[in-house]
Amino acid sequence: MSWHPTGEVVVDKKGASLVLSGRFNIGIGMIKKLIGPVSRGDIVIVKDETGEFLGEGFYEEIGSVGVRMLAFKDKVSLDLMSERIEKALNMRRKMKLGNYFRLVHSESDLLPGLIVDFYNDIASITSTSIGFDARIKDIAGILTKLGARAVFARNDSRTRRQIDLPLWKGRIAGEGPSDTIIDEEGVLFHVDVLKGQKTGFFIDQRMNRIYLRRYVSKGDKVLDLFSYTGGFGLHAAVEGADVTAVDESDYAEREIARNAELNKVKINFIKGNVKELRLNKEYDVVIADPPALIPSIDRKDVGKRAYLMLNTKAMSMVRKGGFALTFSCSQFLSQEELKIIVIKAGSKARREIKLLNGTLGQSPDHPIDPKHPWTGYLKGFVMSCT
């Protein structure tokens, strides 16, 4: 697929203003006219109504997005993409993140619609852009030059389903298996980029998993809700805690056992739906890290009630004097809204809570661009419960 423009897109005053302010996503309703042969996924020249050149980007016509800008007052090229990915890599290297990290975080790395995660020498790509979909082999080529032994696509996300992009996953380039072992501050995890959730692992929770360890002591009883492959639970177990993990997937059950063996610890696993969970026990620490309970804005009220029910249940299982950690990865729920939910849940659970150390967020390899606030989606709190 070409990296040269095929035609032009003329945007209205609002669209031009967004481009000039550095916004990447231009709405379909802001497009006044298409000039020349323009198809979805093509690179186009973007101009205002006076004919002034504003930049270049992908013509998407996907969801509410008409154009994704890639260059402001500049030209799009494969070399430009390579420069941006290398710049992103240099920043991650300075963070000293070890053998796995998010390399590209969409708009925050000037590559809107593109996510790239690295696990050792395996790269995993997720795209929500028709333009990047069409050029995914070129992106894989850049990653190979940067040290990827194999590059895989994980284009089977809920977001792609919501915007009617085809769902698929598989190898794009390279050889060898799709799985590897990563090291998170001495805790080992098996990751399979094709079989696991998201791109294979929840990299965004790295710092929060490590942070959990200061609240866990040897012999503590810890409950890890929505445990997936044992991220939080394994860190607690390494500290000597008696850990119970809850998840409803067969994959999680197999992987927790495997990861527990890797780390020479024991995890008690309960396979089931957290909503239906009935445990007549209290724990020193309870972690609630659910999937996004508000998948779209029209589900916000329903989702807020679900967060309230979950947090009430979680806090009711915390022994007085213990701790609760709770999270939301929904971009449609603000940090302040989650705080209000947490306070209400504490009251319903008959727990006096204190919020400790402000808020929790995503790992620094998931940088947040203030112009594109949805790049900062993960928020959470640690609470003492008395």
Catalytic residue IDs: 329
Integer Cα distance of 289 and 291 in angstroms: 7
Give the contacts of 160 (CB within 8 A, at least 6 positions apart). 128, 166, 167
Whole-number Cα distances in Å, 324 to 209, 230, 370 = 13, 17, 29
What is the DSSP code (8-state) at residue 241? -
Integer Cα distance of 79 and 123 in angstroms: 19
Q: Quick check: 291 and 159 in contact, CB under 8 A? A: no
Two structure tokens written together for 301 = 């009220």
Q: How many CA atoms lie within 13 A of 339 on its CB side?
A: 9
Residue 295: φ, ψ to 5°: -75, -20
Strand-pair category, 353-360 with 379-385 = antiparallel
Two structure tokens written together for 335 = 């940090």
Integer Cα distance of 256 and 235 in angstroms: 12
Whole-number Cα distances in Å, 285 to 146, 191, 274, 329 = 41, 26, 16, 20
Two structure tokens written together for 69 = 């800008």
